[in-house]
Structure 1
Amino acid sequence: MQETVALPALIVAFLALAVSGYLAYRQASLMRLSNQLPLLIDLIRELRSTEFLERERFVNSELKGYDPGLGYADLPEEAADNLQHVKSLFDSIGALVAFKVIDERAAISIFGFRAKRAWASMQPFVEVERGKRAGNYGPYFEHFVCLIEETPPEKITKDLRLRRLPASVSKPREERRPVDLAQPNHAAARGRPDTPPPADF
């Protein structure tokens, strides 16, 4: 009889422990998310700023016109300033990911494409600068790009099963036939608008 009574009590105690453990995990996850949110919003705001977009455009389109052998420090002031600014922001994102301050998958999904593109543009300069400094230059940026290579943004969005709208198919515009006003039967030549044909009921 005692064993019969003890078994339900044990099951109830186990369920209570499982539920409390889940709630604790859920609360910790929500707290972590609430801590990440301000950082993500600040980073998104910075990457969307006019100043950063201009610097990023310079790095991706004009930096290739400079000699990578100059590294960073020996570049002209404008080029060096733009490279350093873009590198520092993505380096900071990489550091936040490495120390698990922000979620890795969220960072890759939001910033991955632009980080990978910027790294491709400045990698030769970073490597030369590392040789000059005999130390690390942009290590977290490179780490972040490695993570992006391992888990591309498109894989993350696919895993999230984001919904898509049907693809729009653009129809070719109908060619308008030239109007020959010399034709006596044409309505415009008769000075009155065309009348629509009677409705077919």
Structure 2
Amino acid sequence: GNGSGSSGKVLGKVVAIGLSHNTASVDVREKLSVPEPEWNDAAAALVRESDSILEAAVLSTCNRFEVYLCCDDIFRGTLEATAFLSKRSGVPLSQLRAVLFVLPEDEAVWHLLRVSAGLDSLVVGEGQILSQVRRCFEVSTSDGGSARKILSRLLNVAVSAGRRVRSETDIAKGAVSISSAAVELAALKAPPVLNLQLRDTRVAII
């Protein structure tokens, strides 16, 4: 790969590649999942094994897997990254392409801002994803990270935007996790459906 090295190509174009609860089954998400201690290794391998990828950052959670790339050629970088992910996960390329999203430039930026704000989450407004984006920023800009000028700036802005959304809007009011949403729904439904208060009902968690 050429990294950000001697070719003189320091800046590039951003692309986001990934899948989420919206696009892929749990089985596929688990195969692509990368534990946090391995985020930088995966990102470094992407840069090292590519001729087009200059920077990389991995964001992997239970509900999503995303890589943010800075490429000097988005088309080529996307092909190289997709092949890398297929090889690493064992998911055939044809199957992977069917569930991956590829978002170039402004679309990639907008997507990350939506993710950080909690707008792309299973429960809109949940707070955990902001912490995960913050960790992505911290990890990918650390000594072993592969985020440089472009991606470090993008991730930093995303964290700031996520904080502002939560402090300046009502998005985080009410249920902000799947479990709390389930409890709120049960409390709402129990009296009319069962003629009981939630505290008097038996609940099975599946």
How high is the TM-score relative to the length of structure 1?
A: 0.34
Q: Please say which structure displays the higher CA radius of gyration.
A: 1
State the structure with bigger RCO (CA 8 A, min sep 6), 1 or 2.
2
Point out the structure with the larger helix share: 1
Higher strand share: 2
